[in-house]
A and B are shown apart, each in its own frame.
Chain A
């Protein structure tokens, strides 16, 4: 079962996986099992996976009227758009680090994440303009 990284146990599991993978990659590089570049690529691909997980669960957080600033369905629309942006960016981030030339991957992956952040910020601004929650 995939843990929701937007909860404390989920975040701890995600952090544990990233740290364990980093440690494992370090050991593998030390023993010349894989090159440092491969280790870097895998590590970044995992970080893209975390972005995908965060984006996936983003629309499921805080939908009750008491938990949001505006009408719940409008809040859900904002989070839905943000979630999709982050999932697509996360997939793109992972794919970029797995297949793009190593000289291009850092810039291209950050452009993808940056685009997702712009979409998220835009949808948040639209959401903040939405009418307040029903009393």
Chain B
């Protein structure tokens, strides 16, 4: 549950989930909505996937993301959007970004 709260604490990730409500999208289609670098978006996707809020379906070289929220998670997302659930320092995202940089 902690992973879910962490995933929902970031406005970018919440926006990703909102976008996925209208249908499944590829990583590229999602990234086009944000003015952030590819590795940062990739780290956001990793956090969402690890929290079980999205499912990734690999089709050839593209990854298609599908929303995978339970009713409780859906309600939490709505709550976070209305009241804001932001934290100043996202250690998990930082760690994910560090890993991304190590790989590249």
Q: Establish whether residues A60 and B72, one from each chain, have CB atoms under 8 Å apart when the complex forms.
A: no
Q: Which residues of A contact B93 (CB under 8 A)?
A: none
Size band of the A side of the interface?
A: 10 to 19
User: A63: CB under 8 A from chain B?
Assistant: yes
Interface residues on B, range: 10 to 19
- Cβ B74 vs Cβ A80 within 8 A: yes
Q: Is A40 an interface residue (CB 8 A)?
A: no
**A65 to B70 CA separation, bound complex (whole angstroms):** 18
B74 contacts A63, C-beta separation under 8 Å: no
- B71:A58 contact, CB within 8 angstroms: yes
Whether the pair B24, A57 counts as a contact (CB closer than 8 A) is: no
| Residues in A whose Cβ lies below 8 Å from that of B31 | none
Listed in ascending order, the chain A residues whose CB lies under 8 Å from chain B are 55-60, 63-65, 71-74, 76, 80, 83-84, 87
Q: Can you show 13 pairs from A to B with CB atoms below 8 A apart?
A: A59-B68, A60-B68, A60-B69, A63-B66, A71-B24, A72-B24, A72-B66, A73-B22, A73-B66, A73-B67, A76-B67, A76-B68, A80-B69
